[in-house]
Amino acid sequence: IEVSRIRNFSIVAHVDHGKSTLADRLLELTGTIKPGTEHAQVLDQLQVERERGITVKAVTASLNYTYNNEKYLLNLIDTPGHVDFANEVVRSVTACQGVIMLVDANEGVQAQTVAVHSLAKRNNLTIIPTLNKVDLPRADPDKVKAQLNSVFKIDPKSVLSISAKKGWGIQELLEAVICRIPQPSVDSKGYFKAHIIDTWHDKYRGILCLAYIQSGKVQVGQAVKWRSDSKPHVVKFLALLRPNEEPIDEAIAGQVVMVGCGPRGGGSVGDQLLDKELAQNEDAVTVSPVKHMVYAGIFPADQSQHPTLNDSIKKLALNDYAVAVTPDSSPALGQGWRIGFLGLLHLEVFTQRLLQEYKAEAILTAPSVPYKVKLKGAKAIKQYKGEEIIVTNPVHLPDANNIEEYYEPFVIGTIITPVEYIGAVTSLCIDRRGTPLPASAVDDRMTMLQYVLPLSEVVIDFHDTLKSITSGFASFDYQDHGFHPSSLVRMDILINGMLVDELSTIVHTSRLEYNARRLTEKLKEMIPRQMVQVAIQAVVNGKVFARETLKAYRKDVTAKLYGGDVTRRKKLLKQQAEGKKKMRSVANIRIPRDTFIDVLKR
Ligand code: GDP
Ligand code: MG
């Protein structure tokens, strides 16, 4: 194979516009898998992907295809569709020269179409605009071509039409991939150098990597090293993914291959694998760091499971490099971790995978976004080295007296909605503290609205609310807009005068009274009555904003049993004792552990 016969591409689209279905068709056409529905969505390998119908991990498939009597190697890098996984998309585009941008010929341009289009543009990728689902009776290719022209200035003549389901137009599409997308621009003669775009863990072979070869070639047995450390390694495993492994002896620049250096061979996303002769610092590529948008605590259901959970989290974090894991502890929940995620769906998928792939049961605390604060006279406050610090856990917010300025993360939200819902969508965005940007028409029925919104107002239930107020017709996507000054305070909860760390939250001042009332009311409902009266207060800088009182009540589980049945009585007492173990006591008040998890959820 020569580099002029290699094409590396991705399929990008709004969720449900047909990426996985198209990937299956491409694999069939190239003889990689046998036609038939049994192989449905072969690239969606994880259980969670099949269950949720979304793609989480980007997976690769190398396809053979003959065009004009020339053999081509087409590397399809499947990418996830959801906003949370945008950075998996970003990562896979580093190995691509072009994308197939699928748009449902019935639904038309959606918010994520806008997002993936701008991503492809920013990375100078060739875009093959493709309408899918043209078999549907309600498909309207001309209308959608006009939308593509008005939103992206795409020439209608360059738009392909396919049905991934029926297999229409697939051949023409593959030919467009060969003719329109350029060959990889790489240095075939130089020393071997490869960029790691994915890693996963194999029980017997250690860490396996998906690598894009940027220069030179690589063979099994070759001496290599990682850019991140200079220790010598040897390439032990080399394979094409079709998507099943097909071992090969050699791979050249421009290829996307699986490499492994054995159980101690290492490897991580963003690192580079180098020929052993290459100097460590020679033209290193820099990968922009992942931005964590949502943080939550994870704790073992039982402390005895801490080592098992630790092991599982480590393995999963290796495959899902987008998570940030730091140890954390809480009086109520014990030893655990604070984990940074790209978004809420990412958080859900991570915990679901933990459960399904590693059989680890974990408790999850309410998610929060990171905040930033600028400190007064930072040098005087010894424990902080810099001027500005990022606060990922409200407990670690410095004292208000030491803070000069608060910042919260904002995003630019893109909403594409039918015109009749503009009013409802606008009210929702204003209610969520949004500031409008200029709107533009997609066509005479659909409008694109953009708002600058605080991330904290978006991560929890914005998407669900948007869907429900627009009967499911509006789509939403967001991109990071950085930290902006904001008016924030830390709200603490006192139980009979004692501070409960786990229940502190950072809130916008306009939300303070509402949140104070809501949280104290909810706690009153959730804390069981005690032998003494319990005062629940929401406090900011020593000032009480809401207060609830839980009346005293003497609870004796055996009171109704008149002597007689000793075993029943013993059993009840034992149950009560076990129940007590899962309690945290604050100022002699016993609070069920679940309270700490549930009370902060919306
Ligand atoms: P993804 O989220 O982009 O990966 O989308 P999928 O490939 O999972 O497809 C979403 C849904 O659209 C599935 O129910 C597919 O069967 C359906 N679908 C995909 N392509 C076509 C098509 O060309 N025609 C029709 N009628 N349905 C399709
Ligand atoms: Mg899919």
For every residue of 375-395, DSSP letters joined together read ETTGGGSTT--SSEEEESSGG
Q: What is the distance between the alpha carbons of residues 229 and 121, in angstroms, rounded to a whole number?
A: 34
pLDDT attached to residue 192: 94
Q: Name 407's bridge partners.
A: 372, 485
Ligand 1 pocket check for 452: Cβ under 6 Å: no
Residue 54: per-residue pLDDT: 46
What does the pLDDT read at residue 304?
Answer: 86
- 265 close to ligand 1 (CB < 6 Angstrom): no
DSSP-based three-state secondary structure for 277: coil
Verify cis geometry, omega within 30 degrees of 0, for the bond prior to 137.
no
Q: How far is the CA of 116 from the centre of ligand 2 (A)?
A: 15
Please give the ipTM for the structure prediction.
0.99
CB atoms < 10 A from the CB of 384, how many?
15
Nearest-CA residue for ligand 1 atom 25 is 133
pLDDT of residue 56: 43
Binding residues: 13-20, 78-82, 132-135
DSSP letters, 536-580, are EEEEETTEEEEEEEEPP----TTTTS-S--HHHHHHHHHHHHHHH
Annotated binding site for GTP: 13-20, 78-82, 132-135
**In the block, residue with structure tokens 């690589």:** 218
pTM: 0.76
Looking at ligand 1, which atom is closest to the CA of residue 163? 23
Cα 55 to averaged position of ligand 2 atoms, centre (Å)? 5
Regions in the chain scoring below 70 on pLDDT: 30-59, 78-93, 280-290, 319, 321, 378-386, 554-582, 601-602
Q: How far, in Å, is the centroid of ligand 1 from the Cα of 327?
A: 41
Cα–Cα distances in Å, from 349 out to 47, 288, 519? 10, 23, 27
Q: How far is the CA of 117 from the centre of ligand 1 (A)?
A: 20
Tokens read off for 368: 């929060």
List the alpha helices (DSSP H) in 359-508. 422-431, 455-459, 462-469
pLDDT of residue 351: 82
- In 10 A of CB 426, how many CB atoms? 17
Which pLDDT does position 380 carry in this prediction?
A: 54
